[in-house]
């Protein structure tokens, strides 16, 4: 047996002896956004116009941006905070419309792309992109007129972290400033416990042959979806284990959390406010105003 075969054997036994259910929030959590190679592959998914799994397509994003511009009452010169901004696809467009935008994300490839995109669009002076975990970002006091937390990214944090982030964003908004949060509708979440597998040689999980094994678990009491991915890299025999958590929130729960953080007049828009998006039925959009 050669070294790779031996490593594959060890990997399969490790897989066989895995815990039947992962413990919520106990074994790391969520994708390795800041790992350079993963970050590069994730950026490739963000920019792929063939799907909207990482970022929405240009056409759908343009529809959203028009809605956000009107709903948040944005004008040229407004200061906007984009939390988990990714590759800057929303931030740069808002800057192109005249806003002054700060984007925060801890994916190095995405932040590099956002800066390059701002330069290409001629809005570098109206964009600041910071490579940092949003939980460690130094939120300035009363600096922004609006904030974005889009595409369900608020759900990848534990509840106490979510409450902390909402408070920090409220702190960073000017009185009367508005926050838009996009979260999956808990009634539409896939709560089926299941498993699946597939093979590939390029994609999010790697650019050499791999076997992907996925498992989904639902924790009804805590309203938590847990997904465990085992990626076996066939050329080396190594295995990566990634745990992805999606914390679900019923509308009354999230509304109460926003109010506790310092927001009022919380609006909820199911089905993405009726916009023609391919997965609109899966989302709830919250628009909340900071206490004046």
Contacts of 140 (CB under 8 A, 6+ apart): 172
**Which element (helix H / strand E) includes 58?**
helix 58-71
**Over residues 78-94, mean pLDDT:** 98
Q: Who has greater pLDDT, 291 or 175?
A: 175
Full set of structural domains in the chain with CATH? 3-30+190-247 (no CATH), 52-186+249-290 (3.40.50.150)
pLDDT per residue over 141-163, tens digit each? 999 999 999 999 999 999 999 99
* Whole-angstrom distance, CA of residue 141 vs CA of residue 173: 7
If pLDDT is split at 50, 70 and 90, which confidence band does 26 have?
Answer: confident
CB atoms within 10 A of CB 179: 26
Mean pLDDT across 160-179: 98
The average pLDDT across 192-219 equals 96
| pTM of structure | 0.95
Residue 263: name the closest of 145, 142, 139, 173 by CA: 173
Q: Tokens for 194?
A: 């299941």
């Amino acid at each position: 047996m050669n070294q790779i075969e031996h490593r594959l054997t060890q990997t399969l036994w490790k897989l066989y002896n895995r815990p039947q259910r992962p413990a919520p929030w106990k074994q790391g959590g969520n994708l390795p956004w800041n790992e350079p190679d993963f970050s590069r592959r994730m950026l490739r998914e963000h920019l792929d116009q063939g799907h909207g799994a990482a970022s929405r397509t240009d056409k759908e994003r343009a529809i959203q941006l028009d809605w956000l511009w009107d709903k948040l009452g944005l004008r040229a010169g407004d200061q906007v905070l984009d939390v988990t901004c990714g590759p800057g696809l929303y931030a740069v467009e808002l800057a192109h419309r005249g806003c002054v935008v700060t984007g925060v994300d801890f994916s190095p490839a995405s932040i590099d792309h956002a800066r390059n995109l701002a330069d290409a669009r001629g809005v570098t002076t109206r964009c600041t992109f910071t490579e940092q975990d949003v939980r460690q970002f130094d939120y300035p006091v009363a600096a922004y007129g609006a904030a974005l937390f889009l595409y369900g990214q608020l759900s990848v944090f534990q509840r106490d972290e979510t409450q902390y982030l909402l408070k920090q964003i409220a702190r960073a908004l000017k009185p009367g400033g508005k926050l838009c949060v996009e979260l999956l509708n808990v009634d539409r979440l896939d709560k089926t416990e299941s498993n699946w597998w597939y093979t590939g040689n390029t994609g999010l999980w790697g650019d050499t042959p791999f076997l992907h094994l996925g498992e989904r678990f639902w924790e009804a009491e805590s309203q938590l979806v847990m997904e465990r991915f085992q990626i076996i890299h066939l050329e080396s025999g190594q295995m990566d284990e990634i745990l992805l958590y999606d914390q679900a929130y019923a509308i009354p729960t999230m509304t109460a959390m926003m109010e506790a953080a310092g927001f009022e007049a919380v609006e909820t828009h199911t089905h993405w406010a009726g916009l023609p998006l391919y997965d609109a039925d899966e989302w709830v959009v919250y628009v909340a105003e900071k206490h004046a």
